[in-house]
Chains A and B, each alone.
Chain A
Amino acid sequence: MALSEQEALHQAIVPPKPPFIAPGHSPGTVTEKISEIVLTRKTPRWWFVGFGIAFILVMGFLYAVTKLVFEGTGLWGVNIPVGWGFAIVNFVWWIGIGHAGTLISAILLLLRQSWRTSINRFAEAMTIFAVACAGIFPIIHTGRPWLAYWLLPYPNTMGVWPNFRSPLVWDVFAVSTYATVSLLFWYMGLIPDLATLRDRAQNKPAQIIYGMLSMGWRGGSRHWQNYETAYLLMAGIATPLVLSVHTVVSFDFAAGVVPGWHTTIFPPYFVAGAIFAGFAMVLTLTLPLRAVFGLQDFITQRHVQNMAKVMLATGLIVAYGYIIEAFTGWYSGSHYEHFMMLNRIKGPYGFQYAMLWLCNILAPQVLWIRFFRTNPVALWIVAMFVNVGMWLERYIIVITSLHRDFLPSSWGEYAGTRFDWMIFVGTLGLFVALLFLFIRFLPMISIAEMRHMAHQTAHSSGTKEKA
């Protein structure tokens, strides 16, 4: 009897956690609720408005890039000494945002965090679109984007091969692998859901298109066995990959001798920053979507709280990175490192540096308070602070280190031009436009995984009657 008493006591002290899916759902209702967004619900007016605005920004982007191709990178604010401007800032920012998607889909799967199920599809889509936006920048930054394929190792009549000792070549390998693996992982996860859409679609074109994309998936037990094995292995493969990508991006800086870049803290601090920024972006997007599509049953309060906690934890790692950076500047005894740190604080970009501390370090501290983790509006505002802060971080790293390096005679200042801004805002438009197309044509929550979860939840909570 002692055992049951203990159990009762435990029940009284620690109330059972709410499930990750609202009660009363069966595989059938989950399928209906998620697939109706794509198949039967009327496209809401805000979709057209949002997509329209994003589309206009994409047009602005195309205009600016066309002009850039015709006239050259002189349209941008970059010059010597600041040869890396917005293009690199935006590249690192976008790539970082992508990292949360892989973290949610791969690392949380391996850690058996079942709450990832309802957000992984969406986060993976976000990863792919963010990587697509990121990939644009190094290509246009080459100045001659039509020759960007020179970065790849291929037999050519010039008899030249890329320098495999260069971090920039490592970057080509890391980013292109990351884009490919993310796309494969996402598509593979979609196959059973595409079969569901094929089977539920009412009109012929939709049946044919979803039918082709689903490749004839039938859900046989042999199918599922191979599928689950492959999915788990993909998660295992993607985990070291995601940690490597931002590490390699940080090598672009850390392998140089420029003060403020040449530090060993860069790889871990970049990876933590990437996850921090990525979760902020996932929250920025899921909080409004969950409200407008009424998906609170699937993306529950617990999901939102967990994401807020991950953001808080990674934000603290980032704070540690900033502190160690400043400490290294002082402790290195190097005149240039010392000056770089003081220049960051008190130099011409001191305001941006202060804003960076406000956005990335101070603002997320409110997440210690429960209210800010549970109130969607408050949490959304905190996430926006982080989005801005992480962009500023890259701006500070790129610009302040370059604009005053070793020789005072070669110092200079940098500011983005309207073309810099147009291209940056244009990629925001591209990102949003792709996301709008995604939520309209593909299930934004994994239906198959939610069915599995609904089945398991119904069984573990003691409801033995069949759905």
Chain B
Amino acid sequence: MRAAQTYGLVAEFPSAEGLVIAARAARQAGYSRMEAYTPFPVEDLHDALDLPPSKVPMIVLAGGITGCLGGFGLAYWASAIAYPMNIGGKALNSWPAFIVPTFECTILVASLSAVLGMLALNGLPQPYHPLFNVERFSHASQDGYFLAIEARDKKFDPAATKAFLQGLNPSEVTEVGY
């Protein structure tokens, strides 16, 4: 079995604070392909792992603009071009009346892009992930705090990385197989 046959190493920590300290230490030690797993959002980890800002806002903005233009375009096209009807001499492009559908379409497309964009950026749905092979990892959604370093990391070395993680006061270090 070659080293590439393992996904990496995962260390469990007894507290969120311990995980933050460990993540910071791992980044200072030069590891980059790593991820921290927690049962609730821990803001300090963004800084500890040096995460770039989320791309979700741009996706939502693009979705909102699309919905806005699409909604108004639909109302305008249907009322003024495809099916023009003279009702009481009102203008065909009676735009104040189109504000409600425009607004609702803006909201609809923006929120669809928020949720679908979040899922896409997170690579979900993804029913299988190597980390699910680790028995204790089920606690990542309950009360466990995990730091995983991937084998793809340039600095990764099965023995040295394991020793490094063990020096960070984890409760357990496990090898993750595919």
Contact = CB atoms under 8 A, between A and B. Distances in A.
Chains A and B form a bound pair = yes
Interface of A: 26-28, 31, 153, 159-165, 169-170, 173-174, 177, 180-181, 184-185, 187-188, 192, 195-196, 198-200, 211-212, 215-230, 233-234, 237-238, 240-241, 244, 248, 251, 448-449, 451-452, 455, 466-467
B8 interface: no
For chain B, the bracket of interface size reads 35 or more
Interface string B64-79: 1000000000110011
A466 B16 CA distance: 9
B11 interface: no
B101 A169 contact: yes
Nearest to B125: A215
B111 interface: yes
5 contacts: A27-B143, A28-B142, A159-B83, A163-B85, A177-B104
B129 A216 contact: yes
A466 B15 contact: yes
Given A181-B111, A233-B57, A234-B115, A27 B40 contact: yes
Interface in B24-43: 35-42
Interface in B52-105: 54-57, 60, 64, 74-75, 78-79, 82-83, 85, 87, 90, 94, 97-98, 100-101, 103-105
Contacts of A218: 37, 129, 131, 140
Nearest to A155: B82
Contacts of B37: 218-221
A230 B114 contact: yes
B16 A455 contact: yes
B10 to A, nearest CB: 11
Pairs of residues from A and B, 7 with the lowest C-beta to C-beta distance, nearest first: A28-B143, A215-B125, A230-B118, A199-B138, A161-B78, A452-B40, A216-B126
Given A185-B111, A225-B46, A165 B38 contact: no
A219 B49 contact: no
Contacts of B168: none
Contacts of B103: 240, 244
B19 to A, nearest CB: 10
B143 A467 contact: yes
Nearest to B74: A153
A229 B39 contact: no
Given A173-B104, A188-B118, A248-B100, A219 B57 contact: no
A233 B54 CA distance: 12
Given A237-B114, A248-B100, A181 B78 contact: no
Contacts of A240: 103, 107
B127 interface: yes
B106 to A, nearest CB: 9
- Of the listed residues B38, B85, B124, B142, the one surrounded by the most CB atoms of chain A closer than 10 A to its CB is B142
Nearest to A215: B125
A162 B115 CA distance: 29
Contacts of A219: 37-39, 140-141
A174 B74 contact: no
B160 interface: no
A467 B14 CA distance: 8
A184 B15 contact: no
Nearest to B82: A161
A395 B135 CA distance: 59
B119 interface: yes
B103 to A, nearest CB: 6
A198 B51 CA distance: 28
A212 B141 CA distance: 15
A212 B127 CA distance: 7
A237 B107 contact: yes
Contact of A230 (B35, B78, B117): B117
B122 interface: yes
B36 A221 contact: yes
Given A215-B126, A226-B121, A237-B60, 16 more contacts: A31-B143, A161-B78, A165-B94, A170-B104, A188-B115, A196-B141, A199-B139, A216-B125, A218-B129, A221-B41, A224-B41, A229-B56, A229-B57, A229-B118, A230-B118, A244-B100
Contacts of B176: none
A104 to B, nearest CB: 17
- Of the listed residues B94, B127, B143, the one surrounded by the most CB atoms of chain A closer than 10 A to its CB is B143
B140 to A, nearest CB: 5
Contacts of A162: 78
Given A173-B104, A233-B57, A165 B119 contact: no
B40 A455 contact: yes
A177 B102 CA distance: 11
- Of the listed residues A153, A240, A244, A449, the one surrounded by the most CB atoms of chain B closer than 10 A to its CB is A153
A229 B54 contact: yes
B45 interface: yes
Contacts of B64: 237
Contacts of A223: 122
B110 interface: yes
A312 to B, nearest CB: 30
A221 B45 contact: yes
A217 B124 contact: yes
Given A216-B125, A218-B37, A226 B79 contact: no
A108 to B, nearest CB: 18
Contacts of A163: 79, 85, 87
B88 to A, nearest CB: 10
A215 B127 CA distance: 6
Contacts of B82: 159, 161
A218 B38 CA distance: 8
Contacts of A165: 79, 87, 90, 94, 97
Contact of A215 (B14, B41, B100, B119): B119
B108 interface: yes
Contacts of A216: 124-129
A221 B40 contact: no
Given A27-B40, A165-B87, A220-B35, A237 B110 contact: yes
